[in-house]
Amino acid sequence: MDKQIIFLLDDDEAIQKVTKAYIERILPEVETYIFSTYDELRNHSLLRKVSLFIYDIVLENHLDGFEVAKEIAKINAAPVLFMSGLNYNFDAFAHDKITYDFVPKPLDFKAVIHRVKILLKVSKTYYDYRQENAQLQMSLRGVFAHSNLYLLILDKDIVVKLCSVRLAHDLGFDKIEDVEGKSWLEFIPESEKGNILTLNKEVFSDIAVTHREAITPIKLKNGSELLVKWFYSVLKNGHLYTFNIGVPQPASSMVESSIDEIREYWRNLIDENNATLKALKNVIK
């Protein structure tokens, strides 16, 4: 397993070396890099792989650790441990959404190690989440590419944000991108558009609704209409999109037990696996 990386920025060379030696003696699974200037740290090739930053608050050349933290967080949002011989009010800095802690100088190295351990755990948890989320997004993209079901994400104005390849093909398009940005009403028979508008309004106005089912037709590329059993849900954390799973009808082509399996999967997805819904929102950004 790769070592977790710490970047330490302090213009006092003695503090640099002592802190690095102490951390690596107590935590051999950590590798600490020391820097005297912001430019050295900012331009290092490992910057994006750092798990924890340690900054002295008072630096030379009119720099301070707060400003360094804000700038580096734009590239790597790993936690920060501040060091200083002065007392600071961190209330204003807390609004920058950076995970941080503070140790006073002269350093109590037991306290330093304690805080480093905690912040490294925070960093690892966040890293693991990002990795899992990235893998989940790749899986979801694969599902939209290869599923035989109709998968559809609409925004609040019923504009298509994403759909499965099969649905795009049946609507008469070669690629998903050709459907994105179009109004879903373009693919609905005129007689059903009012029902779709009403359903959309109900779904977004009632935040207590988690599931809704309906059978509505769509217009295919050959000019015919096809009834589709739709399972609607509002994506959580913002209520900006609906995630819809469609089963082409007639029902004779799919036994009721299969419909029940899809219904159970869909409800579990909405109710239990919020991580999937978060990933879906990232996929459609």
Contact 241, 200 (CB under 8 A): no
Order the strands of the 50-56 sheet from edge to edge.
Answer: 30-35, 4-9, 50-56, 80-84, 100-104
Residues 110 and 12 in one domain: yes
Which residues neighbour 251 within 8 Å (Cβ) at sequence distance 6 or greater? 229, 259
Choosing from 90, 106, 132, the residue where a domain stops is 132
Residues 263 and 186 in one domain: yes
Residue 45: the pLDDT is: 94
Residue 162: the pLDDT is: 83
- Expressed as residue numbers, the domain containing 264 is 147-283
What does 106-168 look like in DSSP terms, one character per residue?
SP-HHHHHHHHHHHHHHHHHHHHHHHHHHHHHHHHHHHHHH-SSEEEEEETTSBEEEE-HHHH
In this structure, the chain runs to a length of 285
SS3 6: strand
pLDDT tens across the length of the chain (285 residues): 578 999 999 989 999 999 999 999 999 999 999 999 999 999 999 999 999 999 998 877 667 888 899 899 989 989 999 998 777 766 656 656 788 888 988 899 999 999 999 999 888 877 776 666 566 556 656 666 777 788 888 888 999 988 888 899 999 998 888 998 999 999 999 999 998 888 888 777 765 555 678 888 999 888 889 989 888 877 655 557 888 888 887 644 444 555 666 666 555 555 544 555 555 555 555
Handedness of CA 225, 257, 198, 162 (dihedral sign): negative
Q: pTM of the full predicted structure?
A: 0.51
Structure tokens at 115: 């805080």
Between CA 233 and CA 118 the distance in angstroms is: 38
Residues 106 and 197 in one domain: no
Choosing from 100, 132, 164, the residue where a domain stops is 132
Distances from the Cα of 120 to the Cα of 23, 27, 251, angstroms: 12, 11, 54
Choosing from 77, 107, 132, the residue where a domain stops is 132
CATH of the domain at 60: 3.40.50.2300
Residues 111 and 156 in one domain: no
Residues 117 and 155 in one domain: no
Residues 200 and 223 in one domain: yes
